[in-house]
Structure 1
Amino acid sequence: MGLVEQCLVLWLVWFGAALAGEEEGRSSKEEEERGINQAIYEMRRPGFLYTRNAGRCTPQYWSSGRETWPSSVPEQSSVYRVFGSRMLERYERGMTLLEAIEKNDDVGGGTAFTKLIKQSSAALLNAYTRPGFRFASWEVKTLLLEALVSEEAAASQAEHFAQANSVCS
């Protein structure tokens, strides 16, 4: 949980406790728990803290849980098993597709390889679930593996996937 989310949780807990103290008949412990649960629920949904593209094909959409993932690539599938063993050169062995899509370190100067895995994972899901998506599943896998050769290639391919993901419906 990031600093902004922690501050938000603390504020909501304080605010919830203050409301509980004002209202008779409610225990402050009950209100505090309700405030924490509400804050956690709100953090899982896109909110006012970040402006993000939340179309039906973006990594943010897929990480939101609004749509069931295809059975051929479940959320807990490891990246290296889905894309191949060459992924171990750049990514952790235990990284799942969901973790790859949820990564936020591609914002504000993150590495090209982080952007690549995030966008290619979303592109793969789109290839399996969106008829007429710009790339077939085998193309997504092949292009990802080809882009692992350098930062420049990774950045370029990540941008191509991001464009395809943002215009998809």
Structure 2
Amino acid sequence: MGRSFLLSRLVLIIFVAYFAASKAAATRPGFLYTRTRGRCTPQFWSSRREEWPRMVPQRSTVSRVFGSGVFERYGSDVTLLESTAMNDDESAFAGLLKQASAALLNSYARKGFPYSAWEVKTLVIQALVSKEAATRQAKQFSIANQACN
């Protein structure tokens, strides 16, 4: 009886320690998490920690980069740098532009990124038809941007 009591207590302690550690890891990132994540996100590109690809300078306007369909939605004065720092909670189209800008930069700067530059541009224009399409495409770009290293 004494041995089974100690064993059950040990299992309980391990169980509690496991859940405490997993809760702490979920609330604040660890060292390895912060080193391997975020090199492809819009926040990373807006921080200017890495030189931008020469094909798309920071001061390029989104209407020049993505075409006339984007000009009608966003105007002519929004730059790529501004689009990566946008508050994407404002609208589905703001979220699309933010994630698409990061995806475009990643397509030029990261080997193995799942989208080529022309695919990003084409998908953006196709997603401008509705809020639902914009939301769906922004989510797909976000997933690719998060998974990228």
- How high is the TM-score relative to the length of structure 2? 0.74
Residue 114 (structure 1) aligned to one of 94, 98, 103:
94
Aligned residues: 113
Give the structure with the larger helix fraction.
2
The 2-side partners of 1:64 and 1:101 are apart by: 9
Equivalent residue, structure 2, for 1:147: 127
Equivalent residue, structure 2, for 1:60: 43
Q: Which residues in structure 2 correspond to 1:96-115 (within 5 Å)?
A: 96-104=79-87, 106-107=88-89, 110-115=90-95
Poorly superposed stretches of 4+, deviation over 2 Å: none
Q: Deviations over 1:116-160 (max 9, x none)?
A: 000000000000010000101110000000000000000000000
Equivalent residue, structure 2, for 1:129: 109
Equivalent residue, structure 2, for 1:35: none
Matched, 1:70 2:53: yes
CA RMSD of superposed structures (Å):
0.9
Q: Which protein has greater RCO, CA pairs closer than 8 Å, 6+ apart?
A: 2
Matched residue SS, 1:71: coil
Q: CA deviation at 1:92?
A: 2.0
Matched residue SS, 1:156: helix
**Residue ranges of structure 1 left out of the alignment (5+ in a row):** 1-53
Q: Which is higher, the Rg of structure 1 or of structure 2?
A: 2
Residue identity over aligned pairs, in percent, reads: 58
**Residue ranges of structure 2 left out of the alignment (5+ in a row):** 1-36
